[in-house]
Amino acid sequence: MKYGYFDNESREYVIDRIDVPVSWTNYIGVKDLCGVFNHTAGGYLFYKSPEYHRITRFRPNGVPMDRPGHYVYIRDDETGEYWTLSWQPAGKDLKEAKYVCRHGLSYAKYQCEYSGITGEQTIFIPLDDPAEIWNVKLKNDSNKKRKLSVFGYAEFSFHHITVDNQNFQMSLYCAGSSFKDSIIEIDLFYEQKGFQYFTADGNIEGNENFDCLRDSFLGSYRTESNPLAVEQGFCSGSFELGGNHCGALRKTVELAPGEETRLVFLLGEGDRQAGSVMRNKYCSKNFEQVDESFEQLKNFWKEKLDKLQIKTPHEGMNTMINIWTLYQAEINVMFSRFASFIEVGGRTGLGYRDTSQDAMMVPHSNPQKSRARLVELLKGLTTDGYGLHLFSPDWFEVQTEPPFKSPTVVPTPSRSQMVHGIEDACADDALWLIPSIAEYIRETGDFGFTDEMYTYADTFDPKTGEGKKESVFDHMKRILDFSARETGPHGICKGLRADWNDCLNLGGGESAMVSFLHHWALTHFIALGKYLKRDVSSYENMASNVRKACEKELWNGSWFTRGFTVSGRSIGSPDCKEGKVFMESNTWAVLSGAVSREHGIAAMDAVDKYLYTSYGLKLCDPAFSQPDDEVGFVTRVYKGLKENAAIFSHPNPWAWAAETMLGRGDRAMKFFDALCPYNQNDKIEVRRAEPYMYCQFISGPDHSAFGRANHPFMTGSAGWSYFAATRFMLGIRPDFDSLIIDPCIPPEWPSFNVRRVWRDAVYNITVKNPNRVSKGVIECMLNNQNVSCNNNIAQIPVQAEKTENLVVVVMG
Ligand code: GLC
C-alpha cells in the first residue's frame, strides 16, 4: 500500500493519501530555531535546546496522536463551516476533501482543496532569523464570492521540558501574555530571555481577532478539532498574567471567484520588539522577503547536495543519496539526536559515539559543523582517554552568563555528575572520533587541525577556561592508549558499560566490536601520522598486537565471536544457544582490516546465512529469551525488537561496506536493497514509517510486527548508509592527497556517473564497466591524460581550486 511518491524534481516527498498510519515527520530550521512536524502540521518548535527552550508545546505519546501543532483554520463565514489546511486537527472527510503534504528540505507544505477553496500552508524558518513563517495561500475556485475567517493557532510551552510536564504550581503563575500592535507576546516571567511572539501581516485590532489564552480559544471540554473561537467565528480578546497561553489570530478575507490571496503568520523567538522587526521585514512589499528567504533555504540545501550527485542504474539509490540520506545525516549533525516525536526532549547535548559518527558523514557538505562537533568532542574527552558518554558542550566553554535556573527545583548538575568516571564509560565512544578526524582532514585538507590545542573535560575550569591542554594529535593518542590499556584476559578490549551496542553491557567482559574498532581507529591514525611524518611506530606495534589477539581469540572456526562475559563465557559463537551470530563482530572483522580475507569471507557468509531478512540484516540470531545480566539489557528486550534480533539499521551499512572490501558488489547491493526505505514505498501497510527516512530499527522476524520500521530520522543509519554507499559501493573517497575511485558494484551495471566537489574543484566522474565486473579499475583518464592505477584503484591527485575536471574510469 502506497501513500505518496518521491518528487525528485522538487526534492519533495509528496503524501497524497494523507491518512498514513503513523506520523511522517520532517525538520524545519537549520540553525538555532528548529521545529519537528508531521504530515498534518502536528509538532513543536524549540530554540537551541529541545530540553530547556521549547517554544510550542507537544503532548507526546498521546491521543489524538502527535498534537498540538501549528494550525491554520479556515471558516466559511456564510455557512459557519470550518476546517484546517492540514488534515488534522479539523480536517474533512477524505471523500469530500483533498489533502496533500509535501515534505521538502527544511520545510513542509500542507495543501487542501475543500468546498471550492484551495489552500496551502508552508512552514519554514529563514536561514538567518529565528522566526517560523507560515506562508498561507488561498484561492477561490468556486463560482461565487466567499467570505472567510482565517485563524492561525499554536500553543506555547513553559520552556523546560520538566517544568512543562509536572508540578505546575509555579509555572502556571509565571507565564503571561499580552496583545498590542498586532503582536501577541508571551513572557516567561522567571526567565531573563523568556519571550516569544506570534503575529501576522496587516493590522489586527479588536477582541474578535486575537486570543492569548488557550482555554479561551479552544473553549472548555473541547480540543483543537473544534475550537470555540473558530466555531463561533470570532476570538474573545483573551490575555492574562498566568495560565496556559497560545497564539491565536484571526484575519478575514473576501475572495471573488478565481481570486487568490496570501497571508503570513510569524512565530518567533524574542519579545514584541523582535516580532515587530520581523513583521516589518517579512510582511511588507508583497511578501518579497518571504519568497526570497524561501529561495535562500532551497539554495542552502542545493549547494550541500551539489557536493555529491550520483547517477546510477538504481533509481532508489539515486533518490536516497542525492536527496534524502544526506538530508537525514545533516539533520542528525545539526540537532544531535534528542528532538523527535520519540526523543521528545528529555535529554540534550551530545552523545559521544553518535556525534562522533555523525560528524564523519558530512565533512563535504558541512565542513564547519563537522569541525565544530569534533572540537566539542575533543573537549569532552578525559585525560584517561575515554569520552563523556553524554555531555553538553557548554560545560566546557567559559561561562559568560549564569546557567538556567528553573523556578521549581531542577538541581544543577554537580561537577562529578558532568564528568563521570570509568564505571560509566562506554568502551567505543571516543574511538569513533579518530576516523572522524581523519575523514575531516581527508575531505578538507585542514592538516593544521591536528596541532590545535584543546582542554580535557576532567581538568577544565568553567570560570577561567583553563585546564590541561594538548594537541588534537595527542588527544587521539590518549584514546588509542585507553583501549590498549582496558583489555581483558584474552587481550580483547573490555566491553565496559556498553560498546556500540547500548544493550550489551559486558563490564569487565570483552568486546570484539571494540577491538576491531580500535584497529580501525589505529589504521586511520597511523595513515594520518605517516602522512604528517610523525613517529607512529609504537602505534604500528599496537595495531599488530590487536590483529594477533583478534585472529587468535575471536575467530571461532566459523565466524567471529562477539565477546566474552566477565566469567569467560563466549557470546556470538557456535556453542551459544541464543545470540549465536552477531552482526557487529563479523562486519567489523572485515571493515577493520584486522583479519584474513578467508576468515572475512566466512564471517560475511554467516551474516548472509543467519542474519539476512527481506527487510535488512538482523543484529543477532537467535534472539535472547532469558534474562542474563552478564550479557546485558539486550536479554531483557522482547524478541525481534531493538537490539534483540531486530533489523537494527545502523550496522546494516557496515555489512555493505564489508562486502565491497571482499569484492562482492552484488551481495552489497542485496543488503542495500533489503533495508532501502525507497524500496518499501508501496509496502506501508507493513513498514508504516516514512519511506524517505531510515529508521532506528525494523521489527525482526521473531516479532509479530516483522517489517515495521520504528524511530525515523534520529539514527546513525543515515550517515552510515551515505558513507557506505558513496565511499565503498560507488567507491569515491578522498584520501590525504588524492581522490580515490574504487567502486564495487553489481556486475550487471554498465556504468554510472558521479559529480563530486572536493577541495573546491569539481570532478565529473564516469565509471564504465564494459566487462561487467564487480570491482577493479584497469584504466583511468583525468582530463584526457592517463592516470596510473595501482592495485586496481584509481587515485586522482588534488586538482586546482575552481577547476572542472573530467574523469573516466574503466573497470575490468
Ligand atoms: C541507539 C543509540 C546509539 C547506539 C545504538 C545501538 O541508536 O543512540 O548510541 O549505538 O542505539 O545500541
Contact 185, 250 (CB under 8 A): no
pLDDT given at position 26 = 98
Taking only the tens place, the pLDDT of each residue in 71-91 is: 999 999 999 999 999 999 999
367-379 helix and 352-361 helix, angle to the nearest 10 degrees:
150
Ligand 1 centroid to residue 432 C-alpha, Å: 13
Q: Does residue 175 carry a pLDDT above 70?
A: yes
Measured from the CA of 502, which atom of ligand 1 is nearest?
Answer: 12
505 CB less than 6 Å from ligand 1?
no
**Share of residues in the chain with pLDDT > 90 (%):** 93
What residue type is 205 in one-letter code?
E
Ligand 1 centroid to residue 620 C-alpha, Å: 15
Q: Count CB-CB contacts under 10 A for residue 784.
A: 7
500 CB less than 6 Å from ligand 1?
yes
429 CB less than 6 Å from ligand 1?
no
Residue among 500, 583, 698 to mutate when testing ligand 1 (max atoms within 8 A of CB): 500
pLDDT given at position 328 = 98
Average pLDDT over residues 461-484: 96
Report the distance separating Cα 321 and Cα 285, nearest Å. 38
Measured from the CA of 696, which atom of ligand 1 is nearest?
Answer: 7
Cα→Cα distances 788→737, 767, 782, 793, Å: 15, 15, 10, 9
Report the distance separating Cα 333 and Cα 630, nearest Å. 34
Contact 675, 616 (CB under 8 A): yes
Kindly report the protein residue whose alpha carbon is nearest to atom 11 of ligand 1: 502
SS3 sequence of 294-349: HHHHHHHHHHHHCCEEEECCCHHHHHHHHHHHHHHHHHHHHHCCCCCCCCCCCCCC
428 CB less than 6 Å from ligand 1?
no
- By three-state DSSP, how is residue 422 classified? helix
Residue among 643, 650, 714 to mutate when testing ligand 1 (max atoms within 8 A of CB): 650
Q: Does residue 736 carry a pLDDT above 70?
A: yes
pLDDT given at position 407 = 60
To the nearest 10°, the Cα dihedral for 82, 87, 92, 98?
Answer: 110
Residue 655, CA atoms < 13 Å, CB-side half-sphere: 34
Average pLDDT over residues 176-195: 93
Ligand 1 centroid to residue 637 C-alpha, Å: 14
Report the distance separating Cα 389 and Cα 428, nearest Å. 10
Q: Does residue 404 carry a pLDDT above 70?
A: no
**403: pLDDT confidence band, cut at 50, 70 and 90?**
low
Average pLDDT over residues 740-746: 98
Q: Which residues contact 576 (CB under 8 A, 6 or more apart)?
A: 570
Helix, strand, coil fractions of the chain, as percent rounded to 5: 30, 30, 40
Instruction: Tell me which DSSP letter residue 560 carries.
Output: B
Measured from the CA of 498, which atom of ligand 1 is nearest?
Answer: 12
At 199, phi and psi to the nearest 5? -150, 180
Report the distance separating Cα 707 and Cα 684, nearest Å. 10
Average pLDDT over residues 317-322: 98
Ligand 1 centroid to residue 514 C-alpha, Å: 14
In 3D, which of 15, 22, 17, 66 has the Cα closest to residue 705? 22
23 CB less than 6 Å from ligand 1?
no
Length in residues, the chain: 812
- DSSP output for 650-692: TTHHHHHHHHHHTT-HHHHHHHHHHH-GGGGTT-HHHH-S-TT
Kindly report the protein residue whose alpha carbon is nearest to atom 9 of ligand 1: 354
Report the distance separating Cα 298 and Cα 483, nearest Å. 44
654 CB less than 6 Å from ligand 1?
no
In 3D, which of 106, 100, 125, 135 has the Cα closest to residue 5? 100
Please tell me which residue in 394, 502, 608, 673 is annotated as part of the active site: 502
353 CB less than 6 Å from ligand 1?
yes
pLDDT given at position 187 = 96
62, exposed or middle or buried, with CB in 10 Å at 0-12, 13-18, 19+?
Answer: exposed
354 CB less than 6 Å from ligand 1?
yes
Contact 330, 324 (CB under 8 A): no
Q: Does residue 166 carry a pLDDT above 70?
A: yes
Contact 740, 727 (CB under 8 A): no
Cell triple for 583? 552482526
What residue type is 271 in one-letter code?
D
pLDDT given at position 755 = 98
Ligand 1 centroid to residue 768 C-alpha, Å: 38
| Cα 392 from chain centroid (whole Å) | 18
Ligand 1 centroid to residue 179 C-alpha, Å: 45
Taking only the tens place, the pLDDT of each residue in 531-546 is: 999 999 999 999 999 9
Contact 516, 591 (CB under 8 A): yes
pLDDT given at position 402 = 67
Residue with cell 474578535: 208
To the nearest 10°, the Cα dihedral for 764, 765, 766, 767?
Answer: -170
pLDDT given at position 410 = 63
**137: pLDDT confidence band, cut at 50, 70 and 90?**
very high
Measured from the CA of 643, which atom of ligand 1 is nearest?
Answer: 12
**405: pLDDT confidence band, cut at 50, 70 and 90?**
low
Average pLDDT over residues 451-472: 96
- As beta bridge partners, residue 309 has 755
Cell triple for 193? 530571555
711 CB less than 6 Å from ligand 1?
no
Taking only the tens place, the pLDDT of each residue in 554-597 is: 999 999 999 999 999 999 999 999 999 999 999 999 999 999 99
Cα first-last separation, the chain: 41
In 3D, which of 611, 607, 587 has the Cα closest to residue 702? 611
356 CB less than 6 Å from ligand 1?
no
Ligand 1 centroid to residue 501 C-alpha, Å: 6
Q: Which residues contact 27 (CB under 8 A, 6 or more apart)?
A: 34, 35, 36, 106, 331, 335, 713
Residue among 336, 342, 343, 354 to mutate when testing ligand 1 (max atoms within 8 A of CB): 354
502 CB less than 6 Å from ligand 1?
yes
Beta strands in 85-145 (DSSP E): 98-104, 107-114, 117-124, 131-140
pLDDT given at position 606 = 98
Does 502 participate in catalysis according to the annotation? yes
336 CB less than 6 Å from ligand 1?
no
156, exposed or middle or buried, with CB in 10 Å at 0-12, 13-18, 19+?
Answer: buried
pLDDT given at position 105 = 98
Cell triple for 272? 514584541
Ligand 1 centroid to residue 673 C-alpha, Å: 22
Cell triple for 257? 471567484
| Cα 456 from chain centroid (whole Å) | 27
Measured from the CA of 501, which atom of ligand 1 is nearest?
Answer: 12
Taking only the tens place, the pLDDT of each residue in 512-523 is: 999 999 999 999
Measured from the CA of 503, which atom of ligand 1 is nearest?
Answer: 12
Taking only the tens place, the pLDDT of each residue in 305-318 is: 999 999 999 999 99
Ligand 1 centroid to residue 351 C-alpha, Å: 9
- By three-state DSSP, how is residue 536 classified? coil
pLDDT given at position 43 = 98
Ligand 1 centroid to residue 500 C-alpha, Å: 7
Mean pLDDT for the chain?
A: 96
Report the distance separating Cα 561 and Cα 161, nearest Å. 42
pLDDT given at position 251 = 98
Cα→Cα distances 525→472, 484, 535, 594, Å: 11, 14, 11, 15
Beta strands in 48-189 (DSSP E): 54-56, 71-76, 82-84, 98-104, 107-114, 117-124, 131-140, 146-159, 175-180, 183-188
Ligand 1 centroid to residue 354 C-alpha, Å: 7
Measured from the CA of 337, which atom of ligand 1 is nearest?
Answer: 8
176 CB less than 6 Å from ligand 1?
no
696 CB less than 6 Å from ligand 1?
yes
351 CB less than 6 Å from ligand 1?
yes
Cell triple for 118? 484551495
- By three-state DSSP, how is residue 735 classified? coil
Pairing state of beta strands 761-768 and 804-811? parallel
Cell triple for 437? 578526524
599 CB less than 6 Å from ligand 1?
no
> Is the pTM of the predicted complex or chain greater than 0.85?
yes
Taking only the tens place, the pLDDT of each residue in 748-759 is: 999 999 999 999
798, exposed or middle or buried, with CB in 10 Å at 0-12, 13-18, 19+?
Answer: middle
Range scoring the smallest mean pLDDT among 60-64, 233-237, 293-297, 674-678: 60-64
